[in-house]
Amino acid sequence: MATVCGFVEKIKYRNEDNGYTVLSLSEDGEEYTLVGNFHYISEGERIEAVGILTEHPVYGEQMSVESYEIKAPEDTAAMERYLGSGAIKGVGAALAARIVRRFKADTFRIMEEEPERLSEVKGVSEKLAMSISNQVEQKKEMRQAMMFLQEYGISMNLAVKIYQEYGPRLYSIVKENPYQMADDISGVGFKMADEIARKAGIFTDSDFRIKCGVLYTLLQATSNGHTYLPEEELLSSASELLKVEQASIEKHLMDMQLDKRLVIRETDEKRTVYASQYYYMELNVAKMLHDLNIRGTMPEDEIRTRLIKIQEKEQIELDEKQVMAVVEAVNSGLLIITGGPGTGKTTTINTIIRFFESEEMEILLAAPTGRAAKRMTEATGYEARTIHRLLELSGVPGDERSVSMHFERNEENPLDADAVIIDETSMVDIHLMQSLLKAINPGTRLILVGDVDQLPSVGPGNVLRDLIESQSFNVVMLTKIFRQANQSDIVVNAHMINRGETVPLGKKSNDFLFIKREEPNTIINAMITLVQSKLPSYVQADPFDIQIMTPMRKGAMGVERLNTILQEYLNPPSEAKQERESAGVIYRTGDKVMQIKNNYNMEWEVRNKYGIPVEKGTGIYNGDIGIIREMNSFAELVTVEFDEGRLVEYSYKQLEELELAYAITIHKSQGSEYPAVVIPVFPGPRMLMTRNLIYTAVTRAKTCVCLVGLPGTFQDMVNNEMEQRRYSGLKDRICEIYKLP
């Protein structure tokens, strides 16, 4: 073991989650590199560290720190160096020198006990004197807090949040009611609070614990799409989580309702329980939909006459339901247009746009994802944006409890438009629908377009289906498959799948192919051949534009296994390619990757052929697919190119926001369209292998669908009508509002 003592010259690297730090330490002209876990440390501080000296093959001699102690500066030179290091805001090197020259070895005692005397130094006001004193005291308190919280297994990053939220109160909160942190701090969930409580010796049947566990159970249910739970399911799940009797939980529900943390509703002799925020979210959405649903006054004959002229001019042919959709769009404050592939949704939207243009109306188009918005732009010739960009999202994103993320467009700053058209509405969850409706004033037409038979939104709620089933709004359901679409086996078979009919897999087809294979490895080999050599020339697309889609993440046909195998064939390692391992996954220059969480503040830029930025913006979204163009191991940066040449730089720490995307889950494909899709068909969990899943997958293909695997499994999926039941109360809230006098 060796011991070194000195000043923290520079923090070269720090992982805020676990405190792992690489820093340079200097003393009397000697410089040391220290690596290890430091509770809380900043440049300029003086430490004594004990550890083992090792020789790193790249970075040279280092000390692996076993323990360390922060030392108060002992002489005037050390005090001056610490104060002038930037550790204390408002104090630079020159001011630090004047302070130490005035008070000498008594400097730190003066700061702690007589801070008002600092104003004796030229350049130090009374306000700055108190600020310096507070910062010195706070740093001491924060170090103590970090060490205290580390004993409870709390990461450095989270410990800082806790300290900033509670200050000195954190000690009593951790020891008496750590569950409060689950309510107050993003990143502290029930399980973390429960582990802290266990270490603090809090009893299993604590009231705080049970109430927090009930809310946690309800909020966990939102990850499965639910906005509420039936009381019996809530009690059962919470009892299993908390390991207490249901009776011990039930007695708290009324108290939580009185505290406005829950809303309990009774319908058809059943009790349903909401976390309050979701009940009022649904109620608010229902009320705003009702207020938008205003009837227009233009005579139908006049609309039809003008529509004939538009059809002649644009050479558009509409069936009667499409004509009705245009009529309703003109005279409805709120209209829903739904239908499967090939039924003319895009033609209908285009005709509505032309009619509105003839009225000189301001029209806005949007979709839930970047890919869906891009498709909408290509199909209409009108600029479409993501709903997030339409609503001008700003701030730092958090979870649904965070107030730091907000839309600039809202009830106080509504969208400036006469009509708003939203495509792929089946993907819109209750959160996004509420935000959208807040930004639309009554009198603005809202037209929602989507296929109600697609997979529902990833987020909570079943918005499109609830709106249609409420029977409270104008709905036009397009059913006719048009002649051109009728020649596509993709469209014809998609409708057969949706009706639960037997698809003729042996039929010769130009765009719907089934390749029989039985074993997982032979299925994978066939998919590699299709993506590498067969399909690119057939659909005139790059291999990276052809998408493999699978129902599951785990297992022989799961994305995790498929991506590891496909990477070796489609982007094999070479000396010319940089690599970086993160969380067990190797990322390589040239890899196809997907963003797996919304990052609204991620900056992107588009460069011209000379490498000069010509466009900049922010926001990379869940489901965006790109290619790793460059990896810089020195700067620890990865450059990814997304659609439309948008280049984004990720730090190595941000690689957790990406995953390989040679294969993706069918859920992740929602709203996207690919030149060709390849789908492995192999047995899996029945709850995953469903009709609407395979229907969604098939309808993602523009030119060609290739299914590889077992015909029997494919037919089993078509026959499996099971959809995971979503507990969503928006339909009930809408019906209640329409029954009001």
Q: How far apart are CA 68 and CA 450, in angstroms?
A: 61
CA distances from 590 to 558, 652, 657 (A): 22, 16, 17
Token readout for 399 is 């979870």
Q: What share of the chain is helix, strand, coil (3-state, %, to 5)?
A: 45, 25, 30
Q: How many CB atoms lie within 10 A of CB 418?
A: 15
**Rounded Cα gap, residues 691 and 695, in angstroms:** 6
DSSP string covering 387-414: HHHHTTEEE----TT-SSEEES-BTTB-
Report the alpha-carbon distance of residue 616 to residue 635 in Å, rounded: 22
Q: Pairing between strand 547-550 and 663-665?
A: parallel
Cβ neighbours around 438 below 10 Å, total = 20
> Per the annotation, does 3 bind a ligand?
no
What is the Cα–Cα distance from 260 to 476, expressed in whole angstroms? 39
Tokens 């050479």 found at: 315
- 344 labelled as ligand-binding? yes
Pick the closest to residue 652 from 596, 597, 580, 591 (CA basis).
Answer: 580
Report the SS3 class of residue 194.
helix
Tokens of 70: 């922060």
DSSP, res 611: S
**Which regions of 609-718 does DSSP assign to beta strands (E)?**
613-620, 625-632, 637-642, 646-651, 658-660, 663-665, 674-681, 701-709
Q: Is 343 annotated as a binding residue?
A: yes
Both tokens assigned to 93: 């090197």
Does residue 461 have a known ligand-binding role?
A: no
How many whole angstroms separate alpha carbon 668 and alpha carbon 146?
Answer: 39
Q: Is 386 annotated as a binding residue?
A: no
**Residues marked as binding?**
342-346
**Residues marked as binding for ATP?**
342-346
